[in-house]
Amino acid sequence: MANHKSSIKRIRSNEAKRLRNKYQHKTTRNAIKKFCELTAKKEAVKTLPSIISMIDKLAKKNVIHANKASNLKSNMTKHIASL
C-alpha cells in the first residue's frame, strides 16, 4: 500500500488514464475493423478522416507507436484504392 499522499493520487490517476486509454484504443480498433469490412468506396472515403484522426490521437498520447499508426493509415488508404 502506498504511504504518501502523492503516491496514492498517482495510483488513482494512473488507473483513470489506463481505463481511458483502453477505451479509446478499443474504440479505434473497432472502427478499423468496421472500415475493413466496407465494400462501398464512397462510404469508406467518408469514414477515413475520422479514423485517421483517432489513430493520430492514440499515437500522440503514446498509446500506440508512431510507426504502427503510419502502417494502419497506409493500409487503410490501400484498402480504399483497392475498392
pLDDT in tens, 36-62: 999 999 999 999 999 999 999 999 999
The pLDDT assigned to 5 comes to 93
The residue type of 8 is: I
pLDDT of 6 reads 94
DSSP class of residue 1 equals -
pLDDT of residue 1: 76
How far CA 72 is from CA of 11, 15, 35, in Å, comes to 32, 27, 12
pTM of structure: 0.87
- 46: domain range? 5-82
Specify the length of the chain in residues.
Answer: 83
- Compute the distance between CA of residue 72 and CA of residue 68 in angstroms, rounded to an integer: 6
Average pLDDT over the chain, rounded to whole?
96
Given this model, what pLDDT does residue 37 score?
A: 95
Nearest CA among 78, 56, 52, 61 for reference residue 22: 61
Number of domains in the chain: 1
* pLDDT surpassing 80 at residue 18: yes
Instruction: Output the domain CATH number for residue 27.
Output: 1.20.58.110
